[in-house]
Structure 1
Amino acid sequence: MKLISMVDYVLANPKEDHVNYANFLNQPLKLEMFVPCVDGEPFNYSKHGLKEDFEIAKEKVLFEGIPMNEIDIQMLMVYAKKEKTIEELFNESADLDFTLTPSGIKKCQ
């Protein structure tokens, strides 16, 4: 499911309960929404453990298909410190294609 603005969602789904989606969009950003993390830092096998630990961290990732490099990760950390929400990032990053992972879809239903 591609992430869309609240207005577009309401117009496309006028009979559904929109509270969960609105609450999802109003969540403060966390790095773990974009890359697997342990204690707020990107997962590293030598530091954080085994494949099972990676799979647990990966379950918290809500978005996929967004290329992440070190600069992107640092930018997300700045956004998180400023208490920006998912919707604010979405509105400010129109050039990115935000696609929800299965975990992300569960969170907004």
Structure 2
Amino acid sequence: MEGSTIKGVSLLTLNESDSKKTRPRKRDIGRIRVMGYSTELPGDDVESSLRKHFSSCGEITDVCVLVLDNNILNSFGFIYFLGGQGTVDKAMQLSGTDVGGWNVIVEPYPFGEDADW
């Protein structure tokens, strides 16, 4: 029983430290806008392809491709990276490259100074 008590305390300590992690600051997040994919492709396929294609640029926190009301993808999406401007610079170098049958177009899409965080 003593062993299980110690294990429980250890897990509690780990969970407590996880909950106290700070959110990244706005300047630590890089964001790009991506285009070039067919809007008729399945959204999950586009997101997965983009995540794989840009994984070499840095840690991706989110890939967002919106699906419109008529079940067609929006013509552009966003990729968010940890690492700020450095990751955006790396991603910009991939503009025009092939992503499994379509060429991705990359634009920087920085947060405005007054963006709500």
Q: Identify whether the pair has TM-score above 0.5, normalized to the shorter chain.
A: no
Higher helix fraction (1 or 2) = 1
More RCO (CA 8 Å, sep 6+):
1
**Structure-1-length-normalised TM-score:** 0.26
- Give the number of the structure whose alpha-carbon radius of gyration is greater: 2
**Structure-2-length-normalised TM-score:** 0.25
